[in-house]
Amino acid sequence: MRLNGIHHVTAITGDAPGNVDFYARVLGLRLVKKTVNQDDPSVYHLFYADDGGSAGSDITFFEYPGARPGRAGAGMVHRVVYRLGSDDALDFWAGRLEAEGIDVQRNGGQLRFADPEGLGLQLRVVRTDDEPLVADHPEIPRELALQGFDAVCAYADDPEQSRPLLEDTLGFGAAGASSWKIRGETRGSVYMYDEAPPDQGVPGAGTVHHVAWSSRMDEHDAWRSRVAEAGVQVTPVIDRFYFRSIYLREPSGVLFEIATMGPGFATDEPLEHLGERLSLPPNFEHLRDQVERSLTPLPDPRAPRVTQ
């Protein structure tokens, strides 16, 4: 068995309209699913990805309106890294982000910046045979668009304590002193650590809740068994309707999910209309009227921007 790289990254926002504007308009991702947090259906769960909603491109957000700003610390992912295909793409994004008033740090073949709530993001030129996971956007040529995840970076006090789980149980290979790489049949991703800051982390807006790794459907139960046999506490398999999930906390403190590459986001709406309406899994459909009244109205992410 081999995990197929990052499946998705889930973070927290206190401002769903602003979140849609940034990830769908500025970064050019497609809002592929507008649904609710299945553990708290009073709030949004928003999914942004490539045109097909593919695992490997999917950043998601729980919205808690007005949530206080968070701060990443030990045991938390603090940066999400996307791939670009060329130096021309890097130039394009440096200009686009700066035109939006975003502070961008450029270092060689990468750009670092933060979303409006402080979540660390990085764009990196990556030479790979992996399929580019791209979303169509009227302002962004496809050859310059984001191409899916390359890595996530977490803070840890002692990365070595995570090595046995990463290497022996989950099948990651060492890729440096504090980084590991996982490669499946079609994609690969990097998981790396930076030294933790002295201040304790505070969950909140602009922080990552968990990172999910991709499993084949027919191997998911076996992954749960392998993790449990390693003595790691792991949840039962949870059916999220669009995929199935198990959760565990790796020794450095980061919450991991192992999620299946299917059934997918087109399970309950046509691929060409993903994200246009509120989607609710069948066991939440009876709450639709109540939920729709309570959720924050969202902008059309592809509507022309009105400037003063």
Could you tell me if residue 304 is inside a domain?
no
Q: How many whole angstroms separate alpha carbon 273 and alpha carbon 279?
A: 11
Q: How many whole angstroms separate alpha carbon 186 and alpha carbon 86?
A: 21
Q: What is the pLDDT of residues 111-165, one digit of tens each?
A: 999 999 999 999 999 999 999 999 999 999 999 999 999 999 999 999 999 999 9
Could you tell me if residue 1 is inside a domain?
no
At residue 303, the pLDDT reads 60
Count of structural domains within the chain:
1
At residue 123, the pLDDT reads 98
Place of tokens 């709030």: 43
Could you tell me if residue 308 is inside a domain?
no
Range of the domain at 40: 6-294
150-189 as b/e: b if 16+ CB within 10 A: bbbbbbbeebeebeebbeebbbbeeeeebbbbbbbeebbb
List the beta bridge partners of residue 84: 125
- Contact in structure between 40 and 304 (CB atoms under 8 Å): no
Could you tell me if residue 303 is inside a domain?
no
Could you tell me if residue 306 is inside a domain?
no
Q: What is the pLDDT of residues 114-125, one digit of tens each?
A: 999 999 999 999
What radius of gyration, in Å, describes the C-alpha atoms of the chain?
18
Q: How many whole angstroms separate alpha carbon 123 and alpha carbon 150?
A: 9
Q: Band of the pLDDT at 48, cuts 50, 70, 90?
A: very high
At residue 308, the pLDDT reads 45
* Nearest Cα residue to 243 out of 267, 279, 219, 277: 267
Q: How many whole angstroms separate alpha carbon 219 and alpha carbon 234?
A: 16
Q: Helical H runs in 81-214?
A: 87-99, 163
Q: Helical H runs in 127-208?
A: 163
Q: How many whole angstroms separate alpha carbon 206 and alpha carbon 14?
A: 8
- Contact in structure between 189 and 173 (CB atoms under 8 Å): no
> Is 204 a residue whose pLDDT tops 60?
yes
- Contact in structure between 247 and 36 (CB atoms under 8 Å): no
Provide the mean pLDDT of the chain: 92
Give the CATH number of the domain where residue 244 resides. 3.10.180.10
The fraction of the chain above a pLDDT of 90, given in percent, is 78
Could you tell me if residue 307 is inside a domain?
no
Average pLDDT over residues 88-100: 96
